[in-house]
Amino acid sequence: MVYELPELPYPYGALEPYVDEETMHLHHGKHHGTYVANLNAALEQHPEIDRGNVDDLIAELDSVPEDIRTAVRNNGGGHANHSMFWQLLAPKSGVGGDEDFGEDLAEAITWGFGSLESLQERFTAAAAPGALFGSGWAWLIVNPDRSLSIETTANQDSPLMEGKTPVLGLDLWEHAYYLKYQHRRLEYINVFWDVVNWREVADRYEAG
């Protein structure tokens, strides 16, 4: 078995005008596609490795042979992160608006942050260029006690690599926004809130 690029759950232009169609084509087809190809190429050297769920693969990096561990970390992380990211976005007019996140998640947000607006402010601050230097991701994590916290990772590292459960993630690589927003990362972070699929976040919170 080899890993495959999953289809987007919506058309490439569905997130316009917040995320433009050309960026979605390049980001999904070229960037995500390359992570998948490079992951498969690395694993070819070790046919004995179980190619199950990519989330499980990157959660057990210590058991990956050392000669391909960095390649699996970067490209397996890239495959897992992007596969999740596409699911976390939705057209603004579709399901998953912020009225749609269910009681459990709503309670956890109120308990942890006071309000959704306050969560968004803190997430945005963590994701801003001054806080996360270079390429990486910002995450909302569900902790074992059901509380939520905000974290960032560098490169394509995933919270799964540290045994943590992400319920929301934002790609902060320039390839995710540069065509439309150039250096204006904060503008991209702000429009992200217009296309978050909160129903999906809630489902992940309830499952995590």
- Least distance to Mn ion from the beta carbon of 172, Å? 9
Dihedral sign from CA coordinates of 44, 49, 51, 57: negative
Burial class of residue 171, CB neighbours in 10 A (0-12, 13-18, 19+):
buried
- Least distance to Mn ion from the beta carbon of 32, Å? 7
Cβ-proximal residue to Mn ion, closest one:
171
Q: Which is nearer to Mn ion, 29 or 114 (CB)?
A: 29
Q: Which is nearer to Mn ion, 14 or 105 (CB)?
A: 14
Collect contacts of 179-182 with beta carbons under 8 A, ≥24 apart: 179/20, 179/22, 179/23, 179/26, 180/19, 180/20, 180/23
- Least distance to Mn ion from the beta carbon of 115, Å? 29
Q: Which is nearer to Mn ion, 168 or 176 (CB)?
A: 176
Contact residues for Mn ion (CB under 5 A)?
A: 171, 173, 176
Strands 136-142 and 148-154: antiparallel
Q: Which is nearer to Mn ion, 176 or 196 (CB)?
A: 176
Do the Cβ atoms of 174 and 135 come closer than 8 Å? Answer: yes
- Least distance to Mn ion from the beta carbon of 147, Å? 28
